[in-house]
């Protein structure tokens, strides 16, 4: 197919789909891990026999970790904090990578996803009209002649002659 007609749309779409899947997964991972608990404690005890107690406490905390659990620490020797990652812009980046899926197929976003544009005076009518016009031009350039030949052959088979009034 490549030698005679170029890349197929499936081949052109693959990098965009892979990019979107990676971004969607990364966004989901970031959302699930946007905060990391930090326990400041004496790490010297981790090499002693009592170190297993610290690791047991950390494992218990990880098992119970959600917004409904409680972290109990030694107020004299430990400090607990939460390091957070900003989620600003993640939605936009994942959305843009999804919109890039429309590029190889030359399909408007409103047709591909069914999303209407937002904002004042936002309208997709012109884009949709342009898309339908390009499809019609493509149909005319590729399909008009083969369909005309088929219609002429059917007419000859039925009536023995071609009626020029039938298109």
Element at 14 (helix H, strand E): helix 9-32
pLDDT for the residue 108: 87
Its pTM stands at 0.57
Other beta carbons within 10 Å of 158: 9
pLDDT tens track for 78-126:
787 877 888 888 888 888 888 888 888 888 888 888 877 677 677 888 8
Q: Average model confidence (pLDDT) for the chain? A: 82
Helix, strand or coil for residue 47? helix
Residue 152: its pLDDT value, please? 94
Task: For residue 61, count other CB atoms closer than 10 A to its CB.
Answer: 17
CA distance 84 to 58: 19
Nearest to 70 by CA among 97, 101, 37, 92: 37
């Amino acid at each position: 197919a490549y030698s005679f007609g170029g890349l197929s749309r499936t081949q052109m779409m693959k990098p965009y789909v892979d990019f979107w899947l990676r971004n969607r997964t990364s966004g989901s991972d970031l959302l699930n891990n946007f905060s990391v608990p930090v326990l400041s404690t004496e790490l010297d005890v981790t090499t002693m026999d009592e170190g297993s107690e610290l690791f047991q406490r950390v494992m218990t905390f990880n098992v119970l970790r959600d917004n409904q659990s409680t972290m109990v620490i030694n107020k004299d020797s430990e400090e607990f904090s939460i390091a957070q990652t900003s989620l600003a812009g993640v939605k936009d980046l994942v959305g843009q990578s999804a919109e890039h899926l429309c590029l190889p197929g030359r399909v408007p976003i409103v047709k591909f996803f069914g999303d209407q544009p937002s904002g004042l005076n936002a309208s997709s009518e012109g884009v949709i009209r342009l898309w339908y016009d390009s499809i019609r031009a493509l149909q005319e350039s590729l399909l008009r002649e083969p369909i005309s030949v088929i219609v002429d052959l059917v007419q000859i088979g039925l009536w023995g002659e071609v009626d020029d009034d039938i298109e």
